[in-house]
Amino acid sequence: MFEQIFSHIQHNYNLSPTVEVGERDSLCRFCKLNDVKFNKKRAHSFPEFLGNKSIFTVNECDECNARFSKIEKDLSNFIPPTIITRLRGKKGYRPNYIKGGSKVYGDDQFITLIQEKSSEKSSLNFSSQTFDMVKVYKAILKSLISILPDEKLKEFNTAIGWLRSNQNFESLNHFPIFWCGYRMPDVNFPIKMEIELTREISDNHIIYILYCQFNNFFIYFPFSPTSKLFFKAEQLAPKAIAENIHYEKVDCSDGITSHSYKINLPLGEPDITSREELTIEQLNNILKNRE
């Protein structure tokens, strides 16, 4: 049996239509302790740094919201730089800092490089901040649970307990993997967030699949709240590559790590490299022609 649990598309960071998940007059869906009618903050179902402006979970208390914001920082460090994703968060387009004080970031039109000192170097090397893969996995699972209708939450009681704990993967039902994807940035692509959650029952086992698009960054996350040995996530990998999306399997058992990036930019003469703006089309050509 196949069931679509949630579906929503947000275009160009629009605030409407707003989707609210959960019952306002209830206890928090995560801790079951705090009455959400006393909330002072609005809980984003997906982090705002992913571009989410329109999906909110109304029965997540302020205390749990603050707790989960700590693990969401690891997910923020995990996602690719804005020169690829074009993601605009709460504070704008997040820059990546390069040794020596320079920084590079991308918006929906340009790649911007700001250098503290003129340089003839056209090859930029930078790394993300470190992230804990346990927290990355938990942050995605938390978003999945955030968009569940209240009547489905009982299936996730064990998963919510694990999510709120400091435990690693030893007590998780199955091997912690998911797929992330990305595609070449292009100004012709619409700025879009698309979220879809499906539920399937196969051989009496429940499997949820969360599909997310955040501009040029994609997440494909299968999770079963009930299955253990019967659940084979490898069989639920993305079936096809559409729109030139490149998917990679993420093994979350890697622990604490970071990403490294290298990009070649035609900076021109040294005396004009204090600030360079490169169009997305130019970046496409650079990446396609690199060795």
Per-residue pLDDT band at 287 (split at 50, 70, 90): low
- Tokens of residue 84, six digits: 């690829």
Residues 196 and 55: their CA atoms lie apart, in Å, by 12
Q: Where are the domains of the chain?
A: 2-78+130-257, 82-127+259-289
- Tokens of residue 76, six digits: 């923020």
| Residue 269 scores a pLDDT above 60 | no
| Residue 54 scores a pLDDT above 50 | yes
Lowest mean pLDDT of 19-23, 94-98, 197-201, 273-277, name the range: 273-277
Instruction: Report the DSSP pairing between strands 19-21 and 55-57.
Output: parallel
Per-residue pLDDT band at 270 (split at 50, 70, 90): very low
In percent, how much of the chain has pLDDT > 70?
Answer: 84
pTM for the predicted model, two decimal places: 0.89
| Residue 254 scores a pLDDT above 70 | yes
- Higher model confidence: residue 123 or residue 284? 123
User: How high does pLDDT run on average in the chain?
Assistant: 85
- Give the residue from 50, 28, 46, 47 showing the smallest Cα distance to 38: 28
Residues 112 and 105: their CA atoms lie apart, in Å, by 5
| Residue 75 scores a pLDDT above 70 | yes
Largest Cα separation within the chain, whole Å, is: 67
| Residue 182 scores a pLDDT above 80 | yes
For residue range 127-170, list pLDDT tens digits in order. Answer: 889 999 999 999 999 999 999 999 999 999 999 999 999 999 88
CA 80 to chain centre: 9
User: Residue 30 has what pLDDT?
Assistant: 97
| Residue 272 scores a pLDDT above 60 | no
End-to-end CA distance of the chain: 48
Q: What is the CA radius of gyration of the chain?
A: 20
For residue range 102-115, list pLDDT tens digits in order. Answer: 888 888 888 888 87
User: Residue 265 has what pLDDT?
Assistant: 64
Per-residue pLDDT band at 279 (split at 50, 70, 90): low
Number of H helices, E strands in the chain: 5, 18
Residues 105 and 91: their CA atoms lie apart, in Å, by 13
